[in-house]
Amino acid sequence: MRLRLFAFMLGGVTGFVFGWARMTDPDTFHSMLALRSPTIYLLMASAVATAFIGARLIHGRRALLTGQPIAWTATPPNRNHVLGSVVFGIGWAVSAACPGPTTAQLGSGRILAVAVAGGIGVGVWLQPQLAAVRSHRRSAPTASVIQAADVL
């Protein structure tokens, strides 16, 4: 319960900051994508720098709220990362909304955020389906093996 309360409060603060930084306004993203305003780029750069430093500081320690050890392994980029990045970029450009502030946009009454949230929902639902198809494809015998087995 304590973890959920903390997550709820952190979400509220994050939504407030998104609104304060005008990340709920599509014009902010239009200005960024048209290279007229560096504000969002600077915001993203500061978030990446903070996450980079924070990740180095917490690796190997224990989580404050749960006491679980914090550890991960790095994986090299692959085709799925590139394809995901392209889909993310296209979705961002079409909707003029980053998935991060979508909940704040919903809270501020932005109708377009419903479509963005729906797209995120479809992506979240579709990802395990695609992973199952990929793993089935890897484990399925090739056509030549099936034909040889049918002949025997």
Q: Tens of pLDDT along 57-109? A: 888 888 877 888 888 888 898 888 888 888 888 877 777 667 777 878 887 78
DSSP-H helix ranges across 21-101: 26-33, 39-58, 79-95
Cα 108 versus chain centre, distance? 21
What is the spatial distance between Cα 138 and Cα 108, in angstroms, rounded to a whole number?
45
With a cut of 90, say whether residue 53 has pLDDT above it. yes
Give residue 140's pLDDT band: very low, low, confident or very high (50, 70, 90).
low
